[in-house]
Structure 1
């Protein structure tokens, strides 16, 4: 799998002396994360608002499902630092990490905190406390062509000599093996781990904490390479749009909105007339209420 390399340019001293013309100097690498790439792919308008416009438009406060997901991720991270890793300790970690923002009221917050305390305790009951992961919230990166990609892996396991990328999910929509197969972030994390650890990394997993279900996919060299090329393609389009924004600002036509069901969940809809016209805004706690959200809800991508 060709993950590219950084090309060396002319040395400053020789360029300063005028010994050689500055021809063929490569462009600087374009830095991105999986979430940045997906933001451009999903809605160029949101991408512009989030990453390019200055001053940055104000976002709305976090929703309840975001607070819940962050608390659970932090609890699962902190569990590995305990001197005695007992499953029941997970409940206390959730309580300590709980973020009481976005809920309808204190009763709803307390109900969901109790649910997640039970869920984390049950999940940790299936985790071997003696097999410490290779990485916990490990930052990984790689370079491919002009793209420098950086991301953070929730957990990186070593199982019988094989590295496995693990991503925690707390949504009410249980992920499937197909979700693991098609996930661009998971594939890019695997590519980055392979690059950094110099070990073939093909297995990726989505661990659904509320149910304990695990969605799995084992990539091939070819399928991983296709995901890297997909990321590079998105990056090329985004970089071209970035340049246009640098010249034309908000007059650039390369950031069209994509109105749809997700506009009701967008943290930046207050700055997008088309998004506001797409439908009413979801309440802070909408993702916690019945009926269960669909694949169109961001509650599915915590």
Structure 2
């Protein structure tokens, strides 16, 4: 499966979107309706890019000052490559841009209170993995960071730029990190010793030790979700689901819950999606 085939694979974010709202999943994955740029989404991209690049520096130079400088360098390159992005995000308001960049600085300052990057030597950053599981489902995902100890123990790390959820809402985040453990296990033949989520907004760390039972349970969970997705794809019926997230949805203009008429479903997109499961 090449990068062009990403639409025929399941990822944690796609599964999360389907669970939140099947119609949003349809618009995003099948119909490929364009999503709006937002400061929140762009902030996550920028902070992740800075943290990825941080480990290119010699250990002694991995300080907040270096990350702070890198924020502006990456942002300037982003705007140079995509000039219309500035107007789309900030409507030409320089103060909004300044607030955006300051929020990025705060998240990165928090990161340096959570870890000492000069003591880390990641084996992988933004590691892309793709695999077909035992149920013949194509799976893929990007892992923010993989640390491997001198004794070979593996730690998978994922950065989150939002706040840590209350314990009763940790489920989707736990599923995501277990999904990464699964694709690592299937591609590398090695069960990670530790899974870690770093919530930069409030400096909270979630740590989980996976087991082989977790791998089996995650496979079963993915298959159960896929059976729902494929059934709805064949029927063409992806019902909307109302939730507080509706206020931030990119597809409000197409949602029947808001009085809109959705476009016809893309049959080509349906067939592409169904090829997620290999015969």
Match of 1:225 among 209, 216, 219: 216
The whole-number CA distance in structure 2 between the counterparts of 1:80 and 1:195 is 27
- Give ranges in structure 1 of 5+ residues lacking alignment: 1-29, 245-251, 279-302
Shift of 1:237: 1.9
Residues 273 and 243 of structure 1: CA distance in aligned 2, closer, same or farther (over 3 Å): closer
Residue pair 1:136, 1:153 contacting (<8 A) in 2 also: yes
The whole-number CA distance in structure 1 between the counterparts of 2:25 and 2:106 is 37
Residues 195 and 57 of structure 1: CA distance in aligned 2, closer, same or farther (over 3 Å): closer
What are the Cα deviations for residues 153-196 of structure 1, in whole angstroms up to 9, with x where unaligned? 0111113532111110111x234677278522211101111222
Match of 1:195 among 186, 200, 207: 186
State the partner residue of 1:57: 33
Match of 1:204 among 195, 211, 215: 195
What are the Cα deviations for residues 76-111 of structure 1, in whole angstroms up to 9, with x where unaligned? 111122356321200011122336553473213213
Does residue 136 (structure 1) correspond to residue 148 (structure 2)? The answer is no
Does residue 262 (structure 1) correspond to residue 245 (structure 2)? The answer is yes
State the partner residue of 1:166: 157
The whole-number CA distance in structure 1 between the counterparts of 2:171 and 2:153 is 18
Residues 58 and 204 of structure 1: CA distance in aligned 2, closer, same or farther (over 3 Å): same
Q: Secondary structure at the match of 1:157?
A: strand
The whole-number CA distance in structure 2 between the counterparts of 1:149 and 1:37 is 11
The whole-number CA distance in structure 2 between the counterparts of 1:202 and 1:177 is 22
State the partner residue of 2:270: none
Residue pair 2:191, 2:211 contacting (<8 A) in 1 also: no
Residue pair 1:142, 1:196 contacting (<8 A) in 2 also: yes
Residue pair 2:196, 2:207 contacting (<8 A) in 1 also: yes
State the partner residue of 2:272: none
Alignment: residue pair count? 236
Shifted more, 162-171 versus 201-210: the winner is 201-210
Q: CA RMSD in A?
A: 2.6
- Give ranges in structure 2 of 5+ residues lacking alignment: 1-7, 79-85, 261-279
Residue pair 1:175, 1:206 contacting (<8 A) in 2 also: no
Residue pair 1:141, 1:148 contacting (<8 A) in 2 also: yes
Does residue 47 (structure 1) correspond to residue 25 (structure 2)? The answer is yes
Q: Secondary structure at the match of 2:9?
A: strand
Q: Secondary structure at the match of 2:89?
A: coil
The whole-number CA distance in structure 2 between the counterparts of 1:209 and 1:155 is 15
Of the two, which has the highest radius of gyration?
1
State the partner residue of 1:77: 52
Residue pair 1:92, 1:117 contacting (<8 A) in 2 also: no
Match of 1:33 among 11, 15, 37: 11
